[in-house]
Structures are given as C-alpha cells and as structure tokens.
Structure 1
Amino acid sequence: MGISAVILCAGYGTRLQHDLANDETNFHLKDIPKPLLPLQSKPLIAYWIESFENVTFISEIIIVTNEVHKDL
C-alpha cells in the first residue's frame, strides 16, 4: 500500500501577480498560476510531479487547486 502525495496549488498568487504587473521584463507571465510558470522548458509543477513519480512508495498524486484555476 502506497501513500498519497499532495501538491497544494490553491493560492491566488496575489503578491506575485502584483510584482509581475509592475515588471516590464516579465509582464508576459502575468495571470499565469504559479505552478504553471515556466522553468527552463516546462512548468514548475511538472518537476514536482516527476519527483513524486520517482518515489516508489507514493501511489497517487493529488493536486489541490482553487475554483479560479480548476480548469487549467
């Protein structure tokens, strides 16, 4: 029997969005949820999922989101 890994993605990123709105070099990232922000060639959340997939005792990965990002 394995255990569940939980990735919390339910924040609104208010501070980050404020900073991005005021940063001309990264303005294109505004309104992208933090877990989907690109890091090198893929979204940040992809690295977390890959890490959990490589742990043999984790049987499922649960991603918790908020109502705003439920369809992403």
Structure 2
Amino acid sequence: MSLETTKEFTGSGAGLILGILFCFPLAILYYFSNKEELWICPDCQDNIPTGASVCKHCSADLEQYTNDE
C-alpha cells in the first residue's frame, strides 16, 4: 500500500497577491513554481511533507507505507 499524494501551493500569499496586482504572468509563474507534492496521512487525512516518517498531526508511523515503494 502506498500513500496518496496531493499538490498544494506552499509559497507566500502576499507574494502571490502582489504578483497578481502588478504583473499577472509573473504571479502565474510564481504560483506554479511554488506548488509542492505532499503525502496524505492514511489515519488523519491531513497533508504531510513528502519523505516524513511520522505524521506530525496524529503521530502515525508512515514507514509501513513507504517500504513498499
């Protein structure tokens, strides 16, 4: 069994808003360059950084899911 993944924007919201106000194409580039792939914890369904061994929200052990890959 492997972990589900999702992609989320991890950049600064202020930087994105300034980019939208002053240079829309730059804001689009900033948005897509700051998207990060995250794992979804199977126990609490919260997002965690890729490569984590323990969920920071529910302390679930993720090693059992990553050893299959």
User: In proportion to residue count, which structure has more strand?
Assistant: 1
TM-score by length of 2: 0.27
TM-score of the two chains, using structure 1 as the length reference: 0.27
Highest RCO, 1 vs 2 (Cα 8 Å, sep ≥ 6): 1
- Structure with bigger gyration radius: 2
Indicate the structure with greater helix content: 1
